[in-house]
Amino acid sequence: MTQRYGLGTLVRELVMVAVAVAFLFPAYVLVALSLKTPSEINEGGLGLPRELYLDNYPQAWLGATLGPALLNSVVITTTSILIIVLVGSLAAYYLSRVHSRLSYGMYILFLLGIVLPFQLALVPLYRLVYEAGLLGSYTSMVLFYVGLQMPFSIFLYTGFLRALPAEYAEAALVDGASQFQSFTRVVFPLLRPITGTVIILNAVAIWNDFLTPLLYLGGSSKETLPVVIYQFVGQYTASWGLVFASVVLATLPILLVFVVLQKYVIRGFASGLKG
């Protein structure tokens, strides 16, 4: 493995491209089916669409009322992530810088959340949300996701912060900044790579969640994309073209976010690992 792009590297490149093509096959089937007419789909076959049939898309968009759902998903996902990043990084800062029994115990308590099966809390939490009068509100979802995603986010932030020299912040403190100021002005900007990782991983989890929004938002005007998609899929069982078009539409936004943030994903992990 030398720094030159030699024959060996070329072979490796070609092999990997071939692997990628095979890897993408299921995604290709998904998109191809969404662009076929019902009769062409029924004939079976995995080839390219004979002609580009776009009708599935507007039908899926309107039929499933994806517009408002998209807005709900965006509001819930972005608000949750905003709070997770803020609150999570702040907590991780304490957990990584303070060495006490209290902070160690707290860290273990947070890690416990990665292990717990979510079904354990499902019914009691529902009761809590109901008694607080928050059913059908964005707030209930945001609160839930902030709590649910906190353990993994804190795990990532803490790992990263451990690897980050404490001197920068201490210098700022000596210059008279308050703890909070030194965090927001000095530490937080340094967290950028891991924040990218935290954003994308949380966005994926929150955007794709289905059962909780069904429980807490069902019947309200705030239903999210997965909820309306599954209602739509249930209605058009064997209309593969329509179903796959709706699936493509629901997946595009999150893929887009990923493409924009993808360089942070690896970099964030990388800096977290180096510690």
Please, which of residues 25-64 interact with other proteins by CB under 8 A?
Answer: 25-27, 29-30, 38-39, 42-44, 46
Q: How many residues does the chain have?
A: 275
- How many residues touch other proteins (CB under 8 A)? 148
Residue number with CB closer to other proteins (54 or 166): 166
Residue number with CB closer to other proteins (52 or 221): 221
Contact pick of 36, 164, 224, 226 for other proteins (by CB under 8 A): 226
234 binds other proteins (CB under 8 A): yes
186 binds other proteins (CB under 8 A): no
Phi/psi at 151 (5° precision): -55, -50
Joined together, the tokens standing for residue 144 give 């839930």
Interacting positions 82-111 with other proteins (CB under 8 A): 82-83, 86-88, 90-91, 93-104, 106-110
Three-class HEC string of the chain: CCCCCCHHHHHHHHHHHHHHHHHCHHHHHHHHHHCCCHHHHHCCCCCCCCCCCCCHHHHHHHHCCHHHHHHHHHHHHHHHHHHHHHHHHHHHHHHHHCCCHHHHHHHHHHHHHHHCCCHHHHHHHHHHHHHCCCCCCHHHHHHHHHHHHHHHHHHHHHHHHHCCCCHHHHHHHHCCCCHHHHHHHHHHHHCHHHHHHHHHHHHHHHHHCCHHHHHHHCCCCCCCHHHHHHHHHHHCCCCHHHHHHHHHHHHHHHHHHHHHHHHHHHHHHHHHHHC
Residue number with CB closer to other proteins (54 or 98): 98
Interacting positions 154-173 with other proteins (CB under 8 A): 154-156, 158-162, 166, 169-170, 173
Residue number with CB closer to other proteins (192 or 274): 274
Contact pick of 53, 79, 177, 190 for other proteins (by CB under 8 A): 79
7 binds other proteins (CB under 8 A): no
- State the minimum distance, in angstroms, from the CB of residue 58 to other proteins: 18
- State the minimum distance, in angstroms, from the CB of residue 230 to other proteins: 6
Contact pick of 52, 131, 165, 176 for other proteins (by CB under 8 A): 131
176 binds other proteins (CB under 8 A): no
Interacting positions 111-130 with other proteins (CB under 8 A): 112-117, 119-128, 130
